[in-house]
Amino acid sequence: PRPQREDRNGSLPASTAPLPCPAVAEAPCPPGRAGGSFELPGAPIDNIEVSGGGVLVAGGSCLYELLPELRPRRRVPPLAEGSGCGEPPGVRSKLLLPYEEPGGGVLLAGWTRASGSCEVWERPAYRQRFNRTEVVSCLPGGSTAGVVFQQAGAWYLAVAATYSAGRREAREGCEPSESDQTTAITVRPTDSLLPSEELGIIKYHVEPLHFVDALWWGGHLFFPYYRWKAKSGTDPEPPSMAVLHQLQPSERGFSLRGQVYLDCGCRSLIVSSSLVRQGAKGWWVGVFNHSHSTKTWNATAVCIFGMEEMREQACASTHFAVNENHCEERSIKKSPTLIHSGLAAVYGTVVLNQIVLFLGTDDGQLLKAILNEDMESNCPEVLYEIKEETSIFPKLRLDPVDNNYIYLSSANKVRRIPVANCSRYVSEQECLSAKDPYCGWCSLNRRCTLKENCTRSNSTKGWYNISHAPDKDLKILLSFPEKNKHIKIHSIEPLWISTLGKSEITVKGENFTRASDIKLILTGISGCKPDIIKVRNVLNDTQMTFALPPTRKEAKSVCIQADGRRCSPAITLHYVSPPSCFGITPNTSWISHATEGKVVDMILKVETTFIPCVKLHYHPDPVFINYQLHTELDPDLELKIYVSLKVINYYSLFITLRELSVLKFHYSFFFPSFLVAFIVTRYKSKELTRKQSQQLELLEYEIRKEIREGFAELQMDELDVVDSFGTVPFLDYKHFAIRTFFPESGGFASIFSEDMPQSRDQTRKDESFNMLHALICNKNFLVTLIHTLEKQKNFSVTDRCLFASFLTIALQTKLVYLTQILEVLTKDLMEQSSNVQPKLLLRRTESVVEKLLTNWMSVCLSGFLRETIGEPFYLLVTTLNQRINKGPVDAITCKALYTLNEDWLLWQVSEFKTVTLNVIFEKIPENESGDACQTIQVNVLDCDTIGQTKEKSLQAFLNKNGFLYGLQMDEIGLELVSEEQQRELLDIDGTSEVLEDGIRKLNTIGHYEVSMKTIPMSVDYSDEHCHLILPDSEANKDVKGAGHKGKQKFKVKEMYLTKLLSTKVAIHSVVENLFRSIWSLPNNKAPVAIKYFFDFLDAQAESKKITDPDVVHIWKTNSLPLRFWVNILKNPQFVFDIKKTSHIDGCLSVIAQAFMDAFSLAEQTMGKEAPTNKLLYAKDIPLYKKEVKAYYKAIRDLPQLTTSEVDEFLTQESKKHENEFNEEVALIEIYKYIVKYYDEIVSKLERERGFEEVQKQLQQVKALFDEKKKCKWI
């Protein structure tokens, strides 16, 4: 059964037939009254309340008292002297509070006129006691909420209002007194309505507040509200509940107990409010809405809060001007009981110990939801629909006499609607299973009815309801959409369909052909079972079609489920009422304009349903009898056409034609024409010269402006560096070592970094590995092996580096022995280089020992790097990122306006500005402990792409919370939510600009015209896309454009070289801090590894009688700064869990070059043509060189380390790294090199003395590994 609907005349069904108009002297029956309804003449309804045996309706300047069945009882004078309620214009009802005193009823009625007057009326005679001004808000959009309560035998009015809301909202005649400018809440006695400090006056602190309701519960006053600016969508803060309590039981005054935030899923507005009393408990039910006007499937929600919990959680607030100390902000978070696309009103009541919610929507529906013990809703029933689809007024009220009816207000009409449609349930089982507390089975009448409609309903067996129904587990299944890793939706066409359904809709997205078992999940209001629709046809990888079923009117969420995964992010689909036809103008025509000779009915076809319309009338074609053409001296021609129409009779049609001139050539005009042409040409030439001069002046202005701005940046940008970066994301030692040992071979990371048992029994190793390990622990054999391998022609540099890294891992727990091998190999290398060029020692990484030295430094300095260098190094990386992202960055080339590297300078950039976004991070379903949502302000640029905005948003989340959001960039989407629009933001969509040759320009924040909006959160692009750097042809076309626009786009790269210097200045202190952390001695102590190896190099130079100090300086520089530190500086991803971009790599290369120059002994000779990366630090290098030499001297002057001190340090480092790596894998890789050059190695051992036993061991190792190979173990 369908819900009740009005007929075409706006009348209710026959069940609510018109009632006779009473003979009331005070007012005649208003026009347009229909049965079970009342229409306010000339103004929309502003207020509705029930009291005793009647209904009070106010709107415009009118106030009506109605009988419960909505027949008018009286119109209260003197509010409406004119014919309608719209006079005088601008008057609105703000307060309507009836209450009962011992002597009779009283009504408080507040209006916007007279600076917010409040009139006190005695009922039922409606004699006015007095009128008090400045009680309610006189602003049309200002809020007023009040409640009347009795305390110590006296009656009081607590009223919260927006008396002032800034200049924009101010209007003539509505200027509050100076004392009321910031007043928010007052408590007043009803006998005078005068505010007093004694009773309580609460003022707001900074900005106005919008109050939704006023409640009296448990001796406390409750006021739900939100900040005024939330109405414009610029305030992401959740709404609040203000709580007032009595100062002392013996006193009358009230003070602010505090305020508590009400979090209902990132919704910042309260639309409607209702207090539900259930015994000693109280529940506050609120309809929450997003601060934008766009209608999405989850735009509104119902959340329920306990009154006692709000009272206990309320504390002092920054929203109000109070003298108490402000406590920490508190928030009560509730999951929505109900989610809907457009709720506008709520009223809650308790029936048979069950909470029932009546809900109004913004498209004219009245819903009923029944809650279970867990405050979970069933699938709401549609009780009634308004044909005009006007929004429901926020206040719903039950009939005070017969609670089986509820008053539904919309526009200027109030209707009396039954609270249940029990007749829809045919059988007893259906009636009881519905669990509607209003409906029960009437055994005598054998039908489902309201209790009052059942004969002998008071009998125990005459009428029974849900208390006798079989128990069923009624739960709401809440499914959270998850970003599918494969299938994605971009759009659905069409997005608006009728409630009759649609035989074919098109879904556009990607990867449709790569998925199977594709289903469309169509979900309406929460609590209702979703529709699961199978795909109709997959057209291609980006398009598929579905057929949508008929359903009720609402906005639904649509997501795609494939391969059994969770749904993709939802898109809103709107089900709207079918179109209706009232008439066609004109509805008459000639036969020749349509089907000849027929009179047809006009009908509309929507899907398979035909909707009747009106009849069209066709007449015979007109017949032309004759016409006459008159030519006169008048330059206009008059054409008279006589038309014969059998139906329309005769008439004349006059058409006026303009005079046609004849062009004649006269030779007498030749010379004047030539003279005019000469003058015009001369004028055009001067005009062109003037425009060129203006353009040159504009160009000069632009250049001067850029130079001046560049100069200002040099003086100010250092202040913009932000050094708050939270916890440093260090890699653990295992991954640090792997990335350092194998910088270009990422495949080794997985096989070496497998988790090893904490306590591994070395005796249980395989015999082959034990023997091989013992063999490489033979110093003489290992040195001979390395020299033999290096003499092989096909043992490449890559092989040497890999072998050294395998050896480092295999001997990770024997660093003392590894250090001895390093000494021997280094001495051998010196012997090879001493006679040729000793300064070239350790300059490159072309031998096993050179790579072994790099690895040894990485192992021994890992602790020093983490404890001393890590933080300043990470600060440098983050500061560079901040600096780069401060200005435009081209998403395709990664070039930026702010950089250190000229090759990465983005100079083809136009003007840009900063945009502050309120980004809403929704709760991730897997993170049950996380907040429901979080709003963070993110500063982006209007030229940022959507991908760049996502990246900055995720970084802002990390900076604020200290941990990652939990989803990758390609797993999140951005949606623009504003009053004007709601749409998903994409780098490429149908609105993307297409340039020449089909190149598409990426969408930016400016493209979507985003400015201070709310957005509820790396892509590789092909050559077919561009961002800030346009194709050459497009750029040239822009420059050639005329006037101001063309010259603004004229750019010269050299104008922007100051950006390099400003970036250097901004990060200079960070760079110097890092450099000095590296070449300083904390506590006058050098790291053991550095002191040991530098002393070793000094000793070797002394033994070889090398007296040139430059040689030793170069040896030390090649072994540590250039070998280790430069490698670290250029590769922060070796140390931190970060992703290094190409642009960061370019900037770090400039810094690393300055670091290398600091250790160089060569004099810097810079000319004007020198590269910019050298010029940037040219003035700093001499100072750095002095500091480096002092660093080397300080290390040399330190006391020498004893052998026991070095061995103790190496032993401790070995123990730290036990069980870090799978050493057996390293041994297998070493054996592969041995077996590859087995013959050469054996030949070498045979030629050398003392290796007989080693040869036998090597043969045994080979035999064991050969046996393993047969079994496919290796």
Domain coordinates of the chain in residue numbers? 4-418, 424-468, 488-576, 588-619, 623-657, 667-720, 721-729+861-905+1052-1216, 754-860+1218-1274, 910-1050
Lowest-pLDDT range of 88-97, 395-404, 905-914: 905-914
Tell me how far CA of residue 256 lies from CA of 223, 237, 244, 388, in angstroms: 11, 21, 4, 44
Structure tokens at 879: 């500061």
3-class DSSP state of 559: strand
Strands 463-464 and 439-442, bridge-based pairing:
antiparallel
Checking if the pLDDT of 483 tops 70, the result is no
> 345, 359 in Cβ contact below 8 A?
yes
Amino acid making up residue 178: E
Which of these, 276, 331, 350, 273, lies nearest to 306 by C-alpha position?
A: 276
- What's the rounded Cα separation, in Å, for the pair 388 and 2? 17
Structure tokens at 1149: 């290369």
Checking if the pLDDT of 783 tops 60, the result is yes
Lowest-pLDDT range of 200-209, 483-492, 1031-1040: 1031-1040
In this structure, what DSSP letter does residue 840 have? G
Which of these, 1107, 1110, 1191, lies nearest to 1155 by C-alpha position?
A: 1191
- The topology (CATH level 3) of 488-576 is Immunoglobulin-like (2.60.40)
In 52-103 the beta strands, taken as DSSP E runs, fall at: 54-59, 62-66, 72-75, 93-101
Beta partners for residue 523, in sequence order = 557
> 1081, 1194 in Cβ contact below 8 A?
yes
- What's the rounded Cα separation, in Å, for the pair 857 and 26? 101
Checking if the pLDDT of 23 tops 50, the result is no
Checking if the pLDDT of 49 tops 90, the result is yes
Angle at 928 between CA 922 and CA 931, to 5 degrees: 45
Kindly report the CATH number that applies to the domain delimited by 4-418: 2.130.10.10
DSSP string, 404-437: TEEEEEETTEEEEEES--GGG--SHHHHHHTT-T
The model's confidence at residue 343, banded by pLDDT at 50, 70 and 90, is very high
Is residue 786 left, alpha or beta, with left meaning phi > 0 and alpha meaning psi from -120 to 50? Answer: alpha
Counting Cβ atoms within 10 Å, is residue 373 exposed (0-12), middle (13-18) or buried (19+)?
Answer: exposed
Angle at 1204 between CA 1201 and CA 1205, to 5 degrees: 45
Q: Which CATH superfamily is domain 721-729+861-905+1052-1216 in?
A: GTPase Activation - p120gap; domain 1 (1.10.506.10)
What is the pLDDT at residue 722?
52
What integer is the mean pLDDT of 606-632?
Answer: 63
Structure tokens at 616: 């069209």
> 317, 324 in Cβ contact below 8 A?
no
- Name the CATH code of domain 424-468 (choices 3.40.50.720, 3.30.1680.10, 2.40.30.10, 3.30.60.50): 3.30.1680.10
Classify the C-alpha dihedral 889-895-897-899 as positive or negative.
Answer: positive
Checking if the pLDDT of 822 tops 90, the result is yes
> 856, 818 in Cβ contact below 8 A?
yes
- What's the rounded Cα separation, in Å, for the pair 724 and 1063? 19
- Name the CATH code of domain 754-860+1218-1274 (choices 3.40.190.80, 1.50.10.10, 1.10.506.10, 3.30.70.2860): 1.10.506.10
| Residue indicated by tokens 């799978």 | 1222
Checking if the pLDDT of 8 tops 50, the result is no
Interval 1214-1239: pLDDT, tens: 998 888 888 888 999 999 999 999 99
- What's the rounded Cα separation, in Å, for the pair 148 and 144? 13
> Which one has a higher pLDDT value, 917 or 158?
158
Checking if the pLDDT of 998 tops 80, the result is no
In this structure, what DSSP letter does residue 962 have? S
The model's confidence at residue 863, banded by pLDDT at 50, 70 and 90, is very high
pTM of the predicted structure, to 2 decimals: 0.60
Interval 346-370: pLDDT, tens: 999 999 889 999 999 999 999 999 9
Non-local CB neighbours of 290 within 8 Å, separated by 6+ positions: 266, 267, 268, 269, 296, 299, 300, 977
Checking if the pLDDT of 1058 tops 90, the result is no
Non-local CB neighbours of 112 within 8 Å, separated by 6+ positions: 90, 91, 92, 94, 136, 137, 138, 139, 140, 174
Kindly report the CATH number that applies to the domain delimited by 910-1050: 3.10.20.90
Name, of 28-37, 607-616, 806-815, the range with top average pLDDT.
Answer: 806-815
Counting residues of the chain whose pLDDT is more than 90, the rounded percentage is 34
Checking if the pLDDT of 474 tops 50, the result is no
What integer is the mean pLDDT of 460-474?
Answer: 57
Tell me how far CA of residue 1206 lies from CA of 819, 860, 1093, 1216, 1217, in angstroms: 10, 11, 10, 16, 17
> Which one has a higher pLDDT value, 147 or 548?
147
Lowest-pLDDT range of 736-750, 771-785, 845-859, 1007-1021: 1007-1021
The model's confidence at residue 1099, banded by pLDDT at 50, 70 and 90, is very high
What is the pLDDT at residue 736?
92
Amino acid making up residue 1134: F
> 450, 437 in Cβ contact below 8 A?
no
Domains 424-468 and 910-1050 equal at CATH topology level: no
Checking if the pLDDT of 550 tops 80, the result is yes
